[in-house]
Structure 1
């Protein structure tokens, strides 16, 4: 007999439950808004119903709250929910818990409980719960031993909690241990998790929540970094048995934006129930969340925490954007004599000077235009005139991986640059003879050759300097740490090949629990524009570097691409929305204030200009 099946319900219980449902408003066919707001669905098949604490002698309150719970159960069943979890201060203290479990079984729902466990230590009561369909239990945990756990736990002591876990394990009930984060246990998260491995299979969730516990909630930033550090340690721990899953919950997405598969709050959400979830859990969003790219997926932060600590720790995630725009062919003008410019003579209409371009070709010019909605006219004009970053596509590929081979730099004709009308004219463009990409690399490589000691490479993939780093590792000149939230196979293989002197952390710089003053060099090689929070990123790097340590920052500005009709057609036929990775398209001038604000001193700077590639370089020093 499977837990929660209708065959587990006694004949005596059936009429009672049927009458109960029949007496609900509309026969239980719909749930009122207030009931829905208390229903939290954290996955496609699981929902949480909060049960209020009711005095045992208040029969009217018991009946009212039981009816509310029944409404939520019937509504959950209509949403094709697989399991409902009864939460609250202590669901086991409710006299009607067995009835609710039975009703869930009648409706075809599996049942679970979460929160206080005052009666689960009673073997006979636990047996009745399992017989009524209990298939899941979530227990709060505060420490790895009796002294630490009992000092923080508001209810069950250490020994009771561990005994209940063992009894649930013996009955094959799905288990979750919620490690409630407190200032007092933040430094011992890995040890707490390891003490729970004996009860596998189970899920261990690091929970940023109030939970009625003693002690105080830690600062959001400190809690997020402690959880990330614990996950990094535990993920590769030889002590971790099969079936011991690791997760976290209660954090806004701006606090922990990595390990989405371990985020118990979003894997996966039903969008229409997200706000209901936040209401049920007491989590809210603030005005700082407006404009955040993850607002719709994020559950916010506990209102009680915000009331005490404020929302200054919230860092809205910017929206990603394109780093390039495309000029497509629209015609040809021939002949075209630049010395007797037909544009200047008024024979050819200029049109929108920013969005139009003439490319010299034989005795005439090919006409190109862009209708990009990702860039304003002013942004396009800056890319063309101030930065001079327009390129000709040589490969016809939809995605370029080797700019030096696949792209040729264009620059305006000298006659156009000297023309007073050029400011309002598309201009005639021609190929740049110099290999601007090779010149840009020639400025960077001498600095990389100087690397020695401890190296922190932020955004290590796709690791285009693997050969150089591999040689420095083989020579024993460097020890290499790469931070990359989505490590490609090339980087993973490189780290495995040099395992004795290299390691990989699959996180972003914003989540990095940086050791103080450890590294000699920090590398930001084409990852600056990928950072979500530049101030936090460079403050972290500044703290991680030793005094006198160097930071090498390289990135690319936005650029325009002149493509053939065939290449444009292939682009236009691509399915789905484009995948953007840049949060911005900074030049070195745009980036410099962030470096200086973090405390760095510039040593050398190579900005982008009309006769350079779109790659800038800044070398800085920590005083």
Structure 2
């Protein structure tokens, strides 16, 4: 759990792409950095990492290492490494718990590296590698890729092969500082950079033959790194929680606010861990190079894992402990504070299945966060297994309400049973011929069974799971059941064997987000609805589960596989239906919000 502390922006290199090119004259004083190290310890961090500028040129370097060690913290550096070419300095830092190095190296030859850093630095940087490798450090090498070195990545790979304990990362240059000022000269097209980086990683892994070093990439859209999606690397993969710049009053969560996912990324299966595009890059080049991937499933839930009991407040109605201790260090989406009477517990979502923006929207927008009170790998009876969390009434009207991680309390309302009852009541009124696509385990069949037994409806269920279909057949001999995909409904070869049959009602009950091609399915349904017929869609948005470490281990060890291709809400689903079947009129909508379960409902009617 790292905290990144900027000690100042002066440097003994002069990289053309430097983030802080225009503020190199600003440095923090000793007392400021001392205070930030102490604050990091108070926040529960286990390591402080100094950055700049160049932290190793500060005369206080060993003092800060000793201070952090005295507070029980490990020590790390983001550095160009030149001062670490002096073995005695490395020896001294290791005595004071130096554990982590993130070393800048941009070329495998003096010509390329020195061109990039605009200093005669090559020999010293490689001297640092010689001094650092083999000490058991968490050793990382970062190569920023610009137009100046994009065609020279293989020589860099060759040069680092002897350092088997290192991890080598190729990072897309950021349009900030020098990268912004010299954008036209330094910025490669992202698709070109991604292709060259893929080649370099493939070459490096072949040469390393599993013995090290390891190779990673950063700040590249994952859709441009096919086959290497799992090699992405960023501050979160390095376990950074917070960072602080010179002059800032407190720590802030690390984030990807300098990047964005343009509209082209909507529905991409890689959205969660993907960094997207730098905003400055997108402003110039747009998103035409992106190749979103929409044919792979993704998660529909994530875990908040218990970390610590933050406080034992004597007065639960007293001053808010989050506000009293400082709001800004806590991530609005990833940190979860739950009040249990006089105690407040802290949970953390480390997931990369969802982006920071998605997590904050789930937690604060739709309000879909629950405590898992079951002992199951995956909850299967939400009403019994989950307790909804609500934002504490103490948060209402707080000036930090829209920026704070918030305080949450258990809801007294069984939202699942309440919302499910409305769906069941509507299904119990159906008459005529019913088509249920993606019937699966038939969670609502108990509402339909009496209608089927009374002859009020006929029922055709379609699902790709033969075992689920067989189970329904045992429960309801009168039901007509077909093993097949909902996407086959519009296939001219009629693999479902429905001929030219038409229906009074079509159902997509918790199957919408399982559809690979929902627009095609909706169009096929609309073609089979009789005049005045209805289409009812019920599904869930993504949600978070507060769990103990043991519950989390049990859940992550299960064999449950991802089955959702999207996590659409009612708005997103309605937009697809409207585009695919404009003749269908929306007649009912129940959206998800902080006072509801995670289930939404849409109902459409065909023209009479």
TM-score (norm: length of structure 2): 0.48
Rg comparison, structure with higher value: 1
